[in-house]
């Protein structure tokens, strides 16, 4: 699947999707946002795909929103143009937040402003040590919108979030990992290997349980304990509806067959009826 502004290769059940405007540092234009939604649509229920990785071609992951095509040109069309382009970008980020498949952001280079939307939307995030992150909005005279302020407040300490948003200073991948903006950072030449390793681990798990788990982590964040407890009971019962046999097989292989230990790895789901 090769579109102009977004590329995708499927290999070993992993969809490697990449922003593909390297000459514009993968800045998100309305056209790119529309293509990304199409790619996500095509992959979401594709049985050849178990995990989606979002990377960037060239030196950037994404330089954020395209200041010319996303802001200046849509503003010329008035409120209608502005709202349309917001719907398109927020739309695919939201789609990704609740995506059917597990998702991993693979931040190879620059990640600015609006890029924090898809960064947060991915379930996991791995960065190159060399990657550079900033909420640069303040440098050109706006607040970090499009959810970016919410992303840093949710993920960072209040002091780090405030400093990051008010100064617009760059941090590298190592600092981003220290601040927990990403899970981990590794040298750029090891990034793809590390992400492939994590994707392979996810591919071993029961996919219905994975979707229920990733949704649960996001949903319970703003619930009381009692509401979360109730939600989690219902979420597991709903998962049982889609996959009634998975957990029974997981118990059988451990208790009866003694072929694996759940504390040390996943059951063999290829033998699930």
Q: Which stretch binds ligand ACO (CB under 6 A): 31-39, 50-58, 82-90, 110-118?
A: 110-118
Cα–Cα distance, 38 to 54 (Å, whole number): 14
Residue 22: φ, ψ to 5°: -55, -30
Question: Which of 49, 65 has the CB closer to ligand ACO?
Answer: 65
Counting Cβ atoms within 10 Å, is residue 187 exposed (0-12), middle (13-18) or buried (19+)?
A: exposed
Question: Which of 68, 83 has the CB closer to ligand ACO?
Answer: 68
Asked if 183 and 123 count as a contact pair (C-beta separation under 8 A), the reply is no
Cβ atoms within 10 A of the Cβ of 15, count? 25
Cα–Cα distance, 148 to 161 (Å, whole number): 10
Residue 137 sits in the site that holds ligand ACO (CB under 6 A): yes
Rounded to a whole number of angstroms, the minimum distance from the CB of residue 23 to ligand ACO is 6
Cα–Cα distance, 233 to 215 (Å, whole number): 13
Q: Which two tokens stand for residue 25?
A: 């540092």
How many residues touch ligand ACO (CB under 6 A)?
Answer: 17
Closest chain position to ligand ACO (CB): 113
Q: Which stretch binds ligand ACO (CB under 6 A): 61-69, 92-100, 152-160, 243-251?
A: 61-69
Residue 68 sits in the site that holds ligand ACO (CB under 6 A): yes
Residue 113 sits in the site that holds ligand ACO (CB under 6 A): yes
Which residues form the interface with ligand ACO (CB under 6 A)? 24-25, 27, 59, 63-68, 110, 112-114, 136-137, 146
């Amino acid at each position: 699947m090769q579109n102009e502004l977004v590329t995708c290769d499927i290999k070993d059940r992993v969809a490697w999707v990449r922003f593909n405007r390297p000459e514009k540092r993968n800045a998100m234009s309305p056209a790119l946002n529309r293509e990304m939604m199409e790619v996500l649509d095509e992959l979401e229920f594709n049985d050849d795909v178990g995990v989606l990785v979002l990377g960037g071609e060239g030196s950037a992951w994404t330089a954020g929103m395209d200041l010319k095509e996303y802001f200046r040109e849509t503003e010329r069309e008035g409120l209608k143009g502005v709202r349309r382009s917001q719907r398109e970008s927020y739309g695919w980020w939201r789609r990704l937040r609740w995506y059917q498949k597990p998702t991993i952001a693979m931040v190879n280079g620059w990640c600015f402003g609006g890029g924090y939307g898809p960064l947060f939307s991915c379930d996991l995030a791995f960065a190159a040590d060399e990657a550079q992150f900033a909420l640069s909005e303040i440098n050109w005279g706006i607040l970090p919108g499009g959810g970016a302020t919410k992303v840093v407040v949710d993920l960072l300490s209040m002091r780090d979030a405030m400093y990051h948003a008010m100064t617009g200073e760059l941090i590298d991948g190592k600092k981003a990992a220290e601040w927990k903006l990403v899970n981990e950072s590794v040298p750029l030449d090891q990034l793809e290997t590390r992400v492939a390793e994590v994707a392979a681990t996810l591919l071993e798990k029961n996919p219905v349980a994975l979707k229920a788990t990733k949704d649960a982590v996001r949903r319970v964040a703003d619930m009381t304990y009692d509401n979360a407890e109730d939600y989690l009971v219902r979420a597991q019962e709903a998962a049982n509806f889609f996959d009634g046999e998975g957990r029974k097989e997981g118990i059988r292989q451990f208790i009866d067959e003694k072929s694996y230990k759940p504390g040390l790895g996943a059951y063999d789901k290829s033998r699930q009826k």
